[in-house]
Amino acid sequence: MELPGALSPPWWLLLLLPSGLLLWARRRPPWDPRKCPADLTGKTVIVTGANSGIGKCVAMDLARRNARTILACRSRERGQAAVEEIRAATGNPAVVLRLLDTGSLASVRAFARAVLREEPRLDVLVNNAGVTGLPFTITSERLEQTFATNYLGPFLLTNLLLDLLKASAPSRVVNVSSFRHSVGTADSGFLTGQRHPGGYDAAYSSTKLMNLLFTAELARRLRGTGVTANALSPGVVSTSIMRHFSWAVRALFVLLRPFIKSAEQGAASTIFCAVSEEAEGVSGKYFDSSCRLALPSAPARDAALARKLWEASERLTGLTEGPRG
């Protein structure tokens, strides 16, 4: 979250304490993954952005449940280190690395081709990879970097793997969103950089609103297939996602660290959507960081906006023919 430039002591300190106490009070969810007996023997899962933070904790949990666990990571070195750590911790040899950069549609297509060629089934797809704090950047594919990484890449990946998910039903798509979606704007012009939401915090919030709209429209299209799609907020979590922010914001999060969720705690709502009995058969919903059903913002519930965004995303990813932009 972007820190306003005017925020300085003593107001900074006055705001810090109550914020920290509130976050501390909300840091432990009522649903505990360790008490969930779900066994994923014979099932295959994909977790994007699984080399660190929430993604690695989710992959660790699913591997402990005996799933064939595919870590979809941008960095070979960090991804392989995570694979070895998870194998050693869980005793599960079926933990593998596949390279994926969700900010590149070419990378998404190559990853999906490999999965469809090599994997006979796919039971859970966790779209976790995300970035924040990046400057406004247009990629070689004429897309804005943050929107491509957080929204458009996962949109394409999910669509390319839908047939495999349907063939493996009952199966689940889990999209990691954020409570920050409530201040986002779903403008398809943001995807190509034709328009810009403002600072990088506004860009991040807007991608998370798009994740929710995508989830709602995907769930509508998947009715009757046995594939469910849900979105969640992990809450405020201490992870490396803040690495691109200014030193002031990073310093704030260091001070707040004792009061906010660890990556393991922040992974609970994602794991809940991926494996819990309570989420079985539930689709098109939004769960908060305590693993409870929550009502997202009014724009996130706008079915017409969801369809409009879907159609624009299909054109931009080449899933349907039409002019870009």
Each residue of 103-122: pLDDT tens digit? 999 999 999 999 999 999 99
pTM of the predicted structure, to 2 decimals: 0.86
**Structural contact between residues 70 and 121, judged by C-beta atoms closer than 8 angstroms:** no
Segment of 10-24, 92-106, 227-241 carrying the highest mean pLDDT: 92-106
pLDDT of residue 201: 84
- The backbone torsions φ and ψ at residue 116, rounded to the nearest 5 degrees and listed phi first, read -65, -30
Position 244 pLDDT exceeds 80 = no
Beta-sheet strands, E only, within 56-181: 68-73, 95-99, 124-127, 171-176
- What are the tens digits of pLDDT across the range 9-49? 444 344 444 555 555 445 454 789 999 999 999 999 999 99
Q: What is the mean pLDDT of the chain?
A: 88
% residues pLDDT > 70 (the chain): 82
* Ramachandran area for residue 255 (φ above 0: left; ψ -120 to 50: alpha; else beta): alpha
Token reading at 285: 């919903």
Average pLDDT over residues 166-192: 97
**Structural contact between residues 106 and 152, judged by C-beta atoms closer than 8 angstroms:** no
pLDDT of residue 2: 33
Q: Is residue 113 in a domain?
A: yes
Neighbouring C-alpha atoms within 13 Å toward the C-beta of 151: 36
pLDDT of residue 133: 84
Position 322 pLDDT exceeds 70 = no
Q: Is residue 34 in a domain?
A: no
Q: Is residue 86 in a domain?
A: yes
Token reading at 118: 């090599």
Report d(CA 268, CA 19) in Å as an integer.
22
Q: Is residue 4 in a domain?
A: no
Q: Hey, which residues are catalytic here?
A: 204
Could you say which DSSP state residue 167 is in? Answer: H
Q: Is residue 191 in a domain?
A: yes
Q: Is residue 61 in a domain?
A: yes
Report d(CA 321, CA 311) in Å as an integer.
10
> How many domains does one find in the chain?
1
Report d(CA 60, CA 78) in Å as an integer.
15
Higher-confidence position of 283 and 324: 283
Which CATH number do you get for residue 236?
A: 3.40.50.720
Position 325 pLDDT exceeds 80 = no
Position 230 pLDDT exceeds 60 = yes
- What are the tens digits of pLDDT across the range 278-319? 999 999 999 999 999 999 999 999 999 999 999 999 999 999
Q: Is residue 8 in a domain?
A: no
What band does 236 get if pLDDT is binned at 50, 70 and 90?
A: confident
Q: Which of 101, 125, 112, 110 is nearest to 51 (CA)?
A: 101
Q: Which distant-in-sequence residues (6+ apart) come within 8 Å of 234 by Cβ?
A: 54, 176, 178, 261, 266, 267, 268, 269, 270, 289
pLDDT of residue 320: 83
Average pLDDT over residues 94-107: 98
Report d(CA 270, CA 273) in Å as an integer.
5
**What residue numbers bound the domain in which 167 lies?**
42-317
Token reading at 82: 């995570």
Q: Is residue 325 in a domain?
A: no
Q: How far is CA 209 from the centre of its chain?
A: 12
CA distances 222 to 146, 217, 218, 236, Å, are 27, 9, 6, 30
